[in-house]
Chains A and B, each alone.
Chain A
Amino acid sequence: MLEIRNLRATIEGNEILHGLNLTVKAGEVHAIMGPNGSGKSTLARVIAGSEDYEVTGGEVLFDGENILELEADERARRGIFMAFQYPVEIPGVGNTYFLRQALNAVRKERGLDELSGKEFLELAREKARLVELPEELMKRSVNVGFSGGEKKRNEIFQMAVLEPRFSILDETDSGLDIDALRVVASGVNKLRGADRAIVVVTHYQRLLQHIVPDVVHVLVDGRIVKTGDKDLAEHLEEVGYAWVDGELKAAQAAQA
């Protein structure tokens, strides 16, 4: 479904992604782990279409088509979604209003009828239950005054409403209390499907006990340096990134 080949991306002249490769197939859940500053959010934002970054090489193929030339909103309407590490506040814009506009934009692209206010509300209520988002939050302005955890929940709520085919969740687990983590994870699990793919970016093995990944990647210094199954995550948690680093250096030394 998503294939990234040799992706290079820079921000303000600094290269952050140095030739990254990643393939995610329909129906799969992948986890990406990696030290702070290694480029995980950068990857997520480049996939989503942020213009802060300049892509200097490589491709991002979605269903075989290079999407790098598309605007963020076009990508979203085709079914790409990112849950933000730091969701943005938008004062004065009602959460429900915003999401209905967004869903209708997406539905239009898919050739579906727009939903009326009433139809949307029914759908939204159902999806809100999925992540146990209090209805009161739906009425407030987008993310304004939400607690850290509420913001994260709101991201998954949006994902549930928009039903994207490919989602990348950037540290959705950080800031969630233990109960919230379980709720959000079970929400995400309900959104798994044969025609959907999900990538979760996380620092913690804990999330992966709830959302069990098919593949785990380690991202260090702008590259995927190791790929394995869920056991890799457990191992990492025990030994830390120094281990990957050491292995990497050894491999590089052997190559030279």
Chain B
Amino acid sequence: MTTATKTIEELAEQKYKYGFYTDIEADKAPPGLNEEIIAFISHKKGEPDWLLEWRLKAYRHWLTMEEPKWPKVQYEPVDYQKISYYSAPKKKGDGPQSLDEVDPKLLETYAKLGIPLNEQKILAGVVAVDAVFDSVSVATTFKDKLKEMGVIFCSFSEAVKEHPELVRQYLGSVVPPTDNYFAALNSAVFTDGSFVFVPKGVRCPMELSTYFRINEMNTGQFERTLIVAEEGAYVSYLEGCTAPMRDENQLHAAVVELVALERGTIKYSTVQNWYPGDEEGRGGIFNFVTKRGICKGDDSKISWTQVETGSAITWKYPSVILRGDRSVGEFYSVAVTNNRQQADTGTKMIHIGKDTRSNIVSKGISAGRSNNSYRGLVQVNKGATNARNYTQCDSMLIGNRCGAHTFPYIDVRNDTGRVEHEATTTKIGEDQIFYLQTRGLSEEDAVSMIVNGFCREVLAELPMEFAVEAQKLLGISLEGSVG
């Protein structure tokens, strides 16, 4: 690594030129962010020139931007020059050397979730994926099947190499590189992510990523995902993992773009459980994500479902631009915060096409000294005749040191639009917990059951296998929050 640092520094002094770094063997870029580093990343990944240009444009724009501040989220400022923006896929020896070196609390959680030892080692960063997990064969089998149907599902890097024309057509078409501070940063330095393309009329026969989710973990802190469903295509995509994941990288700024053409449907489900830090929030991850989909064609549909339990700070607003007539946007969310966690999450539904509909169900659960905010925008544009939105926002408080906040922004510019908003705040009832306890359930199981009941409408949207895990997860996330 020191050699690499040196090389980069030396190179930085020289006149900057493309194609200069091809034979650098470094595994990791030195900390810092500048055009050379970006070129280094791009070359490491063997990218075409247009993509490097695209990254540089994003970077130059980022330099002109200011980091956003929100009233309900507080954190120490991030020093962007201290981050290393590229590291080759992890090898053994980078992280802790054995499970003994890992936070025992984390291991306890793994055990409760019933995660096999081998997977625990991967999740805790003790070993690299390829060291123990021979999922390659499984993955290829499914990939072959998908290929037959014309479905492309691969890493973003692979897509850049194999399908550059598709990537070029859609990359940044939903979240422009200049969109916001973190999206600009991501556009400049993203290293990998996933790419999905489902061609016209094809219904993707499986939930994507179920079989791959362990493998996807090392895609780094600036992940880039692009999913395209062509005319009449359908795809359901799962992101994340219920097991808490550790990462040395504190800042995560992913970008996810979804494009649904006429009658296309994309269902995107997330279970996010990044390390929230210890009880005081130390060492937790900042999760600043930009997720947006466009219902480009008529009768298309995009549905976001998320279960957010991890991270020290979560900042994300999966959104849908409803451009096609009769297109539908949905957002189902559960956000749990405990201890010192902070979550500011919600959605934006932008109605542009006629007869467009959006449905928002948000369930926020706060415990400990955490803060949980719903922030949502429903915008009905002038031409969006007969647009409909229904928003339901429920908060549950556990204990009396936590906070729940709701910020619904409504902007209707067409008289025929109908926007409905309902919000409730409840405290988890001591009497409910007692009732369940008198039937033999432990206090923790009782809390978990009540919370799961509270979130039922959202959990019902998750694919079956994920739903079961998510239920367990909610209980575990709230352990020790009562009594």
Q: Is the CB of B437 within 8 A of A49?
A: yes
Residues of B within 8 A of A82 (CB): 438
Nearest-neighbor residue (CB-CB) of B435 within chain A: A88
Nearest-neighbor residue (CB-CB) of A92 within chain B: B453
A163 to chain B, nearest CB (A): 11
Q: Which of A50, A81, A98, A106 lies in contact with B434, CB distance below 8 A? A: A50
Is A31 an interface residue when CB atoms closer than 8 A count as contact?
Answer: no
Q: Is the CB of B439 within 8 A of A99?
A: yes
Residues of B within 8 A of A90 (CB): 432, 435-436, 449-450, 453
Near A by CB (< 8 A), chain B positions 416-452 give: 429-432, 434-443, 445-446, 449-450, 452
Residues of B within 8 A of A93 (CB): 449-450, 452-453, 456
Is B211 an interface residue when CB atoms closer than 8 A count as contact?
Answer: no
Q: Is the CB of B435 within 8 A of A106?
A: no
Is B455 an interface residue when CB atoms closer than 8 A count as contact?
Answer: yes
* Cα distance, A84 to B435, chains bound together (Å): 8
* Cα distance, A88 to B434, chains bound together (Å): 9
Nearest-neighbor residue (CB-CB) of A98 within chain B: B449
Is B390 an interface residue when CB atoms closer than 8 A count as contact?
Answer: no
Nearest-neighbor residue (CB-CB) of A103 within chain B: B440
What's the interface size class on A, roughly? 20 to 34
What's the interface size class on B, roughly? 20 to 34
Is A162 an interface residue when CB atoms closer than 8 A count as contact?
Answer: yes
Nearest-neighbor residue (CB-CB) of A144 within chain B: B453
Is A193 an interface residue when CB atoms closer than 8 A count as contact?
Answer: no
The answer to whether A88 and B449 touch (CB under 8 A), given A49-B437, A73-B442, is: no
The answer to whether A87 and B449 touch (CB under 8 A), given A73-B441, A102-B440, A105-B441, is: no
A99 to chain B, nearest CB (A): 7
Q: Is the CB of A162 within 8 A of B439?
A: yes
The answer to whether A81 and B438 touch (CB under 8 A), given A92-B452, A92-B453, A92-B454, is: yes
Is A65 an interface residue when CB atoms closer than 8 A count as contact?
Answer: no
Residues of A within 8 A of B449 (CB): 90, 93, 98, 101
- In this complex, the member of B438, B442, B443 whose beta carbon has the largest number of chain A beta carbons within 10 angstroms is B438
Nearest-neighbor residue (CB-CB) of B431 within chain A: A88
For the A-B complex, the count of residue pairs with Cβ-Cβ distances under 8 Å equals 79
B389 to chain A, nearest CB (A): 23
* Cα distance, A81 to B437, chains bound together (Å): 10
B360 to chain A, nearest CB (A): 18
* Cα distance, A138 to B23, chains bound together (Å): 69
Residues of B within 8 A of A141 (CB): 453
* Cα distance, A81 to B438, chains bound together (Å): 7
Q: Could you give, for residues 213-232 of chain A, a 1 whenever the CB lies within 8 Å of some chain B CB and a 0 otherwise? A: 00000000000000000000
* Cα distance, A38 to B340, chains bound together (Å): 44
Q: Is the CB of B445 within 8 A of A101?
A: yes
Residues of A within 8 A of B455 (CB): 92
Nearest-neighbor residue (CB-CB) of B456 within chain A: A92
* Cα distance, A16 to B19, chains bound together (Å): 85
Q: Could you give, for residues 134-150 of chain A, a 1 whenever the CB lies within 8 Å of some chain B CB and a 0 otherwise? A: 00000001000000000
- In this complex, the member of B443, B455, B457 whose beta carbon has the largest number of chain A beta carbons within 10 angstroms is B443
Near B by CB (< 8 A), chain A positions 60-94 give: 71-73, 75-77, 81-82, 84, 87-88, 90-93
Residues of A within 8 A of B435 (CB): 84, 87-88, 90
Chain B residues within CB distance 8 Å of chain A: 429-432, 434-443, 445-446, 449-450, 452-457
- 10 CB contacts below 8 A, A to B, read A71-B442, A72-B438, A73-B442, A88-B435, A90-B453, A92-B454, A93-B449, A93-B453, A98-B436, A103-B440
Chain A residues within CB distance 8 Å of chain B: 48-52, 71-73, 75-77, 81-82, 84, 87-88, 90-93, 98-99, 101-103, 105-106, 109, 141, 158, 162
- Chain A to chain B: the 9 pairs with minimum beta-carbon distance, closest first: A92-B453, A93-B453, A92-B456, A102-B439, A72-B437, A76-B440, A105-B440, A88-B435, A73-B437
